[in-house]
Amino acid sequence: MQRICVFCGSSSGFSPRYVDAARRLGEDLARAKITLVFGGGGGGLMGTMADSVLGAGGKVIGVIPEQLVARELGHQRLTELRVVGSMHERKALMAELSDAFIALPGGAGTLEEFCEIWTWAQLRIHTKPCGVLNVDGYYDTFLAFLDETVEKGFLRAEYRALILVEHKAEVLLERLRTYRTPDLPDLAGRLGT
User: Which one, of 153, 166, 167, 155, lies nearest residue 121 by Cα?
Assistant: 155
What is the pLDDT at residue 187? 54
pLDDT digits (tens, 9 = 90+) for 49-60: 999 999 999 999
Least confident stretch, 67-71, 107-111, 114-118, 173-177: 67-71
What is the pLDDT at residue 67? 87
pTM score, whole prediction? 0.93
Q: Is the pLDDT of residue 97 over 50?
A: yes
pLDDT digits (tens, 9 = 90+) for 116-150: 999 999 999 999 999 999 999 999 999 999 999 99
Strand partners, 37: 5, 61
The residue extents of the domains of the chain are: 3-177
Look up the CATH architecture of domain 3-177. 3-Layer(aba) Sandwich (3.40)
* Count of positions (residues) in the chain: 193
Q: Is the pLDDT of residue 70 over 90?
A: no
